[in-house]
Each structure stands twice: as structure tokens, then as C-alpha cells.
Structure 1
Amino acid sequence: MKPALLIREGMADTNRAALFKRNVPTWLRRGLSSLAKLGEHVKSRSKFMTVVTAAAAAWTVAVSPASAASAEVDVTESSTGGTALTFSACRVSSYGQGCFAPNGEWFSVEDGKADGHSAVVVWELYKKDSAGNFTVLTRLGTIWNTRGNGTIGYQNKSFPEGLKVKFQLCVGEYADLAVDGGTCTSTVTATT
């Protein structure tokens, strides 16, 4: 199992905090904000990493008690298998493009920069709360294009109809599942 949080050994404490802030999505950072303070009280880096990783795993399961949302990790395929797609929501940056097609719940991820990093779509799926607002997180994940610059990859998901999917395009390191939050586009929302 790959780590949910990447903090490299030998880093200065200030760099460790910055990496934590950059690599952890906002929704997870909110739930783990008190853990950053815990690092000051724990002298051993390995103990700190164990505590942070365990807490991240526990918090991810606690995000949605009814569905026990856990992060899904996918790698794109080279084609849509003949499915005709109409992408209704996209995010574009100098690093590439990420799009969503509600007909069949397809994502496309284009890597548009020869920088040695992978383009990645970070997504979250929401259903309505008792007030009728889309605030209940049911699923979340990442979709990686690992084939390099100039390639477009596709990933088919299976989402129930009428929910909201929020996503953004980022850059990261697939080998470590580390997303560079400083490269992410703004979030776009689409209906499934």
C-alpha cells in the first residue's frame, strides 16, 4: 500500500511542514490540521510519520461514516474503448488538461508539458445533505496520466446519476502518489 502522505526523511522541519501543506488536499488538511502541531511534541521522525499516516487513514475512513469513503487511485487508459464522449467540464493549465464527460462518467487527462512529472486529476463526489445541498462526500480519488508529454488518457468511473463531481488538474509524482498542490487549477463542478 502506498503512503497517503509523503514527507521525505532528512527534511528540515520547516520544509516538512510546507510539503505537508502542499501535498495534502484541502479537505484532508482541515481534518488533520492539529496533527501538524503534534510533530513538535514527537521527537522521532519515524514515530511522527507513523502517527500522521495512521491518522490520515483513520480520518479518510471517518470522512463519510455511511459510505466509508476511501481514496481511489486510477491510471488512465489510451482509449475510450469506442465510446463517443462529450466533455462538459474541463480545466486547462500549462501542464495539460483534465475533463469530465457525464455520459458514462469518463475523465480525460492530458499531459501537456515535458517536465518529467505526471498530470493528475484530483476528484471528489458529493451527494445531497438533508437540506438539499451537495455537501456529503461519498467518494474521492486521483486519475494519473503516466504516459508523458503529449498524451491523453481516459478513465471510466461508475457514479450514480444526479450527484456532483468536483475536480481539478494538478501535477505530481505517481511513484509516490504525491500531488503538488501548488500546480493545481481551480476546481470545476459537474453533474453526473
Structure 2
Amino acid sequence: MRKRRIGTVVAAAIGAFALFSTQASAITWEKDFATGLAPSSSGSAVWSYSPQEDANAAFQKNGDWFFVSDNRADGFSGVAEWRLYNTSGTLVRGGYVWMNLGAGESRWKNKDFTEGYKLQFRACRGHSDGTFLEHCGAWVSIAA
């Protein structure tokens, strides 16, 4: 009887792991560079700041625009890390918008998100080769 319970617990744990690892690996992480100037659409934006304010990011819902700036000459780039969840709460897309034009620069990047999905993003700094992010701000949530 004890072996049967252990087998059930192990099978359940493996099934849960397979479910969550499949959801996380089912998406392709997108890597974009903010190179555009101000968008033609207007609207308010939601902001995120890195803790040392060496980078900041914003999302303008009208037109699905990301704004990213690099505020410090430190050899790092500013980046907006983002995740998009469907109405069931499943992660369906994710990625990074890098601003690697140098300190004191800021640019925009247009994306296309499904209306009504939940978008989370945060401002970080890091190396645009994707090796690591650091000094990330808090996640900000908004309906796309």
C-alpha cells in the first residue's frame, strides 16, 4: 500500500513538472531593439524604473509601443523585459526590447499584442548579447 502511494505522488509530481515545463518552453522569447522615434499615436504610458534609475521603460497601450532609455554611461544597455498572458493566465509570449545606442539615449519599439491579454513588463539594465540582466525594477501589469 505504501509503495502505491509513493508511486502516485511521484507520478503526480512528474505530471505537474511536465505541464509547467511545457507551458514555459512552448513560447519563443522575442528579442527586439528599440530604434524608432516617437510613435505617431498618442496616449498615456505606464512606467517602470530600475532601482538605480540607470534604465527606464514605458508601455503605451495605444498602438502597443515600448519606450526604453539608458540613463547611465556604465557599459550596460537599458532593456524592457516583458511577458504576455492570455485570459486564462497562460504565458503565451515573452521577450526583451533593448536600447543599446548608448547612455542618454532613448527609443521606441512597436509590438502587436492581443487586446485584453495581460502584459507585464519591467525596466532592467544588462548586456544586449543576452547573458544577463541586473538592477531590474518591479513588474508592472497592464491590459494589452
- 1:105-153: CA deviations, max 9, x gaps? 1000011111011011110000122xxxxx2101000000011111111
| Structure 1 match to 2:35 | 77
Is 1:122 the equivalent of 2:81? yes
Verify the 8 A CA contact 1:78 1:152 in the aligned structure 2. no
Q: 2:57, 2:39 → 1: CA distance?
A: 19
| Structure 2 match to 1:63 | 23
* SS of structure 1 residue aligned to 2:48: strand
Residues 80-119 of structure 1 correspond to what in structure 2 (within 5 A)? 80-87=38-45, 89-93=46-50, 94-119=53-78
Q: 1:86, 1:179 → 2: CA distance?
A: 30
- The percent of aligned pairs where both chains have the same amino acid is 30
Is 1:187 the equivalent of 2:139? yes
Verify the 8 A CA contact 2:87 2:116 in the aligned structure 1. no
Q: 5+ unaligned residues in a row in structure 2: which ranges?
A: 1-20
Residues 1-192 of structure 1 correspond to what in structure 2 (within 5 A)? 62-63=22-23, 68-87=26-45, 89-93=46-50, 94-129=53-88, 135-174=89-128, 176-181=129-134, 183-192=135-144
Could you tell me the TM-score, scaled by structure 2's length?
Answer: 0.78
The one of the two structures with greater contact order (alpha-carbon pairs below 8 A, sep at least 6) is 2
* SS of structure 1 residue aligned to 2:82: strand
Q: Which has the higher helix share?
A: 1
CA RMSD across the alignment: 1.9
Q: Decide whether aligned partners of structure 1 residues 81 and 187 sit closer, same or farther in structure 2, where only a CA change above 3 A counts.
A: closer
Greater shift, 153-162 or 90-99, is seen at 90-99
Q: 1:178, 1:153 → 2: CA distance?
A: 22
Q: Decide whether aligned partners of structure 1 residues 127 and 160 sit closer, same or farther in structure 2, where only a CA change above 3 A counts.
A: same
